[in-house]
Chains A and B, each alone.
Chain A
Amino acid sequence: MPGPDLLSSQGLRLDGRRPNELRRIRCKLGVFTQPDGSAYLEQGNTKVLAAVYGPHQAAKSKMSTEGVVVNCQYSMATFSTGERKNRPRGDRKSQEMSLHLRQALSSAIKTELYPRSQIDIYIEVLQADGAAFCASVNAATLALIDAGVPLRAYACACTSSVAWRGSQPEPLLDVGHVEEAAGGVCLTVAALPSTGSIALLEMSHRLHMDYFEVVISRAMQGCRDIEVILDKAVREHLAEGWTKQDIVTI
């Protein structure tokens, strides 16, 4: 069991949230003009930029007749963590994250619509304060929507962990860096909440079977909450975006 108490006796977490609360999410679509789609997303202090190119013709070597090839590149800015560290592009961690992103997003994109073509998704983590992967998935979803790529459903990702209130397990939603570092489990779920399917599931540390159910259901609840927020952001963007564009074009 993790050492420091993640829940105070009054039932608040270290940063003042209750166990079932997300961090504040702010996002914006269409932040760049060069790529076909882009988005900026803040989840607490975790800040992520996503840019999408395509669909465009795929390179020969990657081409597939089955559907579109999703190419992801995940990278963290030098200044994104407390300790400045120069991360060469394509280190192991980024490579792994890229793979995970690809898996999560491929299941959301209607890949069969674009055979022999490719979509490039670039993720840059500007500030990492826990659950950077989740923020990346959420930002990429927004960028894909901005690019006009047809999706089956919103792909949302969320983490959850578990704290102990006395002897009762209390699942924590949207784990921050401090809670992550405390050494407990951290379950990452990427899901398509409206279809109820899970695209990716990853867990650090060991968790006993008995508690898995509550932890994953809390993470799924988080994904549904995030979907609502993303949906609202998209609608707002479209509402103001169309009017602006109309002015420019007409």
Chain B
Amino acid sequence: MWTTKTFLTKTKRGNILKIVREHYLRDDLLCGSAACNVCPHKDDECILDVQPESICALFDYNHYLLIDTNVVLHQIDILEDDALKNVIILQTVLEEVKHQNTAIFQRLLEIIGNKRRKFYSFVNEHHKDTYIERKPGEKPNDRNDRAIRKAAAWYLEHLSIKGLTGHFPKIVLLTDDENNRKLAQDDGIVCCSVKDYIENVNGYPGLLDKLSKNVMPENCSKDALYPAHLTPSQIHAGIRNGKLHQGTFYASRDNFLEGTATVNGFEKQILLQGHIGINRAIDGDIVAIEIFPEEEWRKPSDIVLEDKAEDPGDLLEEESILLNTAKSAASADISPTGKVVGIIRRKWRQYCGILMQSKFPGATRHLFAPAEKRIPRVRIETRQSDLLAAQRILVALDSWPRNSRYPLGHFVRALGPIGDKDAENEVILLEHDVPHARFSEAVLACLRPDDWTITEEEIKKRVDLRSICVCSVDPPGCTDIDDALHARPIPGTTNGLKKYEVGVHIADVTHFVRPNTALDKEAASRSTTVYLVGKRIDMVPDLLSSNLCSLRGGEERLAFSCVWEIDENANVLNTKFHKSVIKSRAAMTYEQAQIAIDDSSRQDEVAASLRTLNALAKTLKQKRLDNGALLLASPEIRFEVDSETHEPMEVQAKRILDTNSMVEEFMLLANVSVAEHIAGEFPQSALLRRHPAPPPANFNTFLKAAAQQGFELDVSTNKAFSKSLNEAVLPSRPFFNTLLRIMATRCMQQAVYFSSGTLAQEDYYHYGLACPIYTHFTSPIRRYADVVVHRLLASCVGADATHASILDTKYAVSLCENLNYRHRQAQYAGRASVALNTHILFKDRVEVEPAVVLAVKRNALQVLIPKYGLEGPLYLPSDKFIYNEEEHVQICNGVVLRTFDEIVVRLSLDSTNLQHRKLVFQLVKPVIPGFSYEEMEVEAVDQPEIEIVDITRTKKRQKKDDVQIVERPQVVIDISKKKQETKSKKKKGKK
């Protein structure tokens, strides 16, 4: 069944090593074509059609496509389009792609895996007739090209043997390499460039837009705008002899001509300025940097510079503005400056944004403005610009040749109309790398049927708690209920104290999500459920998250229980973990639970249970606080969403009830108990969560601001910090203490998941909760970390079979990395969604609200509106205000603005820039003549008129004076100033 020819391949490594490997050639590999009568195919192995229909006008006969490596690497978006079918991917190609770009490799595998696409991967390297050996002196690339041609020739011949009466499919080789094409033609292989092929495809409009632009070689200097990048070997040599440095490039948000790079060995970030200094680096790229001599070091500019809207063609401009301002810098705060000389690795992804149509009707070249401000505009080619202009679109970058002002890219797909809720949500998800595709067939196949019920056998294996009065307490509208509680007195006393049995019951997700299934893999990669306003992106399919796993009221559900014996003073006497069956008596909201507790007329079992829990929770909380746990606050808001349009109607700050903290306390207790248990059993691979203590430097500005209000806070330990926070109360300002806590939260570090084997025991500490060990156990429906912890605990208590990956430390580490990353991205996505909805909310409104100053910056105040939990900058012009750097205060005409000051601001939405709509804050109180916005309640009626008049007037004046185009936000400011002038005139007149 197998031939035993042995071939030797030699490879050379760093310290020249001869590696000899066996290479078996086989005669049992299939060609995958249904038109073949030679290969012993089974029914499901014929991937390629008998008569593949041609969609290309250049070839009027049936043919299969055979593509070379560079086509895959550059045109993956074309391949992903459903248009191309019956494609042969050679193993040579597959392997080259794998080496060069794993992301594209994964995408290619996905296409091959999709049966409808009819992509066949042919193992030419192990086929006895298609394997070729490298000739002496032949380059690996040339050898691979030859292997591809050989395979093409083989296919052609193979299909023609015993072909069906001469009507056998031909082979068309797609390659962009001219040399390769010529050689192929000599061998009698039909070939074609991708561009020619795709341009002649009929019936698939839009396919052409996805065509990636040809890459211009770096050494071509015709019309070059940018200096050439160094070659990889030059970069390597430069880094080795210390002339160049490797760093990650970060573009500036405010100034498109400026960026920084973090380089090892430099304390400050390296400043990179101007088109030439940045030299086509894009945010995130790993670049090689040459650092200038010290006398040329500059200061980061403080101006805001946006790329202009018009397409200036392939010219570089604007340099002068930047460089002039930058030169006059004081010597104190200059940072090391350099320029990018080469790109080590591009970190390009696909970007969301909008199309900026060309001024010329019918043009096909347009600019694309990404939603992320750090990414430069991209030039794309499309014929459907009219259609796309009103849409959010996704674009992939292809290259940035030296003679192009902008990087070149191609259109991938449209996400939906601008302003449409779904399209905007899609943008948020894509930009935060949240996996949100629908669950695949393989994943759904892992699910139990809808009408699944608990079997008697299953109940026998578990502890039956159906008779116990369990209830759940959650926010309103919650459908993924993953925790429920119970408490009941038990007879007997310890040390004269009454005893209770308290149980926390967590949805038994691991019963449904078995390790190493497609469902498990998908959940692990998603890691967390992402909550956007009015939308939830589930980690596990809906059937599980809101039905089978959800501990709904009155239904029998499987649970993982943690049951304690607790005495009256909330001392834990005994802990038990077991899988169980429960039947929740009631699924309540926080408010309902609160009412049940407060309503003394209710004497039923549920109310009694809740009262016990509430009392115990209070004692637990007090104990925790005494230990030094921090009570931190963050402004959280809830949107009330219109049930029909799904537009937000009103915002409220979230209300905190006693019952919130009741549930929280027991969840904390469960998490800590579980963490102790699994860390004991799995010292090397338990999944835990830690919160490192913040470095003291984080507190500097915060402490200074607090001192201005007359409070000296002690931040040496969490206990001391907690104590001094409690004491910092201003009786006249009830919000002040919350504000302090909000700001304290900002000084903290992120809590992270980690595997117990990777750190020393004392580093397990959770600073915020002041407990030596902690993990997440209580929300397995929405967090994958909890799923893992469930499995660990289940194998500890013998409730479930163990499996291999449980002990795998390496796997645990990579899992933690992914968990932390997804967790962070989910948070950012959530915040972005809140911002989006606030913008929708303020679309047609203007409000005047009290606010507090969170921080004083050089050119702005960071203000918070407690009512909405909204935060944003209030810009202060530097010609009016004097910034005191020592004290962190802004002074104008005797008015001093400090951190923690209470002010009144006017809120409105600035929609001039469709991509980056932002809330504009204007100062109302304290009144600063000439700057602060004056409330005009009396004249509210005339106001619109005045505004219109003013705008037209200013516009006219601009035209007359032939003023250069001023960016629009400034126009807005101009108007408001004018308005004030006219208004004050009016006032005077009235007087």
Contact = CB atoms under 8 A, between A and B. Distances in A.
Interface of A: 1, 8-10, 12, 14-18, 21, 23-24, 44-45, 82-83, 129, 166-167, 176, 178, 206-211
Contact of A15 (B17, B23, B521): B23
B517 A129 contact: no
18 contacts: A1-B811, A8-B123, A9-B112, A9-B121, A10-B91, A10-B123, A15-B21, A15-B22, A16-B123, A17-B2, A21-B2, A23-B22, A24-B6, A45-B22, A82-B20, A129-B20, A167-B521, A211-B804
Contacts of A208: 802-804, 807
A10 B22 contact: no
Interface in B800-851: 801-805, 807-808, 811
A8 B521 CA distance: 19
A16 B123 CA distance: 9
B807 to A, nearest CB: 7
Given A1-B805, A21-B2, A44-B22, 11 more contacts: A9-B109, A10-B121, A12-B123, A15-B23, A16-B123, A24-B22, A44-B6, A45-B20, A82-B18, A82-B19, A167-B521
B126 A12 contact: yes
A15 B21 CA distance: 8
Contacts of A176: 22
A180 to B, nearest CB: 13
A83 B17 contact: yes
Nearest to B127: A16
B803 A210 contact: yes
Given A82-B17, A129-B20, A16 B126 contact: yes
Contacts of B20: 45, 82, 129
Contacts of A129: 20, 22
Interface in B740-798: none
Contact of B24 (A17, A83, A206, A207): A17
A200 B803 CA distance: 26
Contacts, number: 67
Interface residues on B, range: 20 to 34
B455 interface: no
Interface in B486-516: 516
Contact of B516 (A9, A10, A17, A167): A167
Q: Report, nearest first, the 7 A-B pairs whose CB atoms are least far apart.
A: A208-B804, A16-B24, A167-B516, A16-B126, A24-B4, A15-B22, A44-B22
A205 B103 CA distance: 31
A210 B24 contact: no
B575 to A, nearest CB: 28
A23 to B, nearest CB: 7
A208 B25 CA distance: 33
A17 B26 CA distance: 8
A21 B802 CA distance: 31
Contacts of A12: 123, 126
B258 to A, nearest CB: 40
Nearest to B8: A45
B875 to A, nearest CB: 51
A8 B92 CA distance: 12
Is the contact region of chain B dominated by helix, strand, or loop, or is it mixed? loop
A93 B626 CA distance: 59
B807 A206 contact: yes
Contacts of A8: 91, 123
A244 to B, nearest CB: 27
Contacts of B517: 167
A83 B16 CA distance: 10
Interface in B67-113: 91, 109, 112
Interface in B1-40: 2, 4, 6, 17-26
A44 B811 CA distance: 33
Contacts of B518: 166-167
Contacts of B126: 12, 16
B17 A210 contact: no
Contacts of B109: 9
Contacts of B19: 82
A210 B805 CA distance: 11
Nearest to B442: A166
A24 B804 CA distance: 32
A221 to B, nearest CB: 15
Nearest to B126: A16
A176 to B, nearest CB: 7
B809 to A, nearest CB: 11
Nearest to A167: B516
B367 to A, nearest CB: 40
A202 to B, nearest CB: 20
A204 to B, nearest CB: 16
Nearest to A176: B22
A210 B804 contact: yes
Interface string B533-557: 0000000000000000000000000
A210 B804 CA distance: 8
Contacts of B91: 8, 10
Nearest to A211: B804
Nearest to A177: B21
A85 B678 CA distance: 45
Contacts of A206: 807
Nearest to A166: B518
Q: Which of B4, B22, B804 has the most CB of A within 10 A?
A: B22
B791 to A, nearest CB: 13
Contacts of A15: 21-24
Nearest to A127: B20
A52 to B, nearest CB: 28
Q: Which of A12, A14, A16, A209 has the most CB of B within 10 A?
A: A16
A24 B5 CA distance: 9
A210 B6 CA distance: 35
Contacts of B804: 1, 207-208, 210-211
Contacts of A21: 2
Nearest to A23: B22
Contact of A16 (B26, B121, B521, B807): B26
Contacts of B21: 14-15, 45, 178
Contacts of A167: 516-518, 520-521
Contacts of B6: 24, 44-45
Contacts of B802: 208-209
A19 to B, nearest CB: 13
B657 to A, nearest CB: 44
Contacts of A83: 17
A158 B123 CA distance: 28
A94 B521 CA distance: 43
A6 to B, nearest CB: 14
A150 to B, nearest CB: 33
Nearest to B806: A208
B212 to A, nearest CB: 25
Contacts of B22: 15, 23-24, 44-45, 129, 176
A129 B121 CA distance: 29
A16 B26 CA distance: 8
Nearest to A15: B22
B684 to A, nearest CB: 11
A16 B125 CA distance: 8
Contacts of B2: 17-18, 21
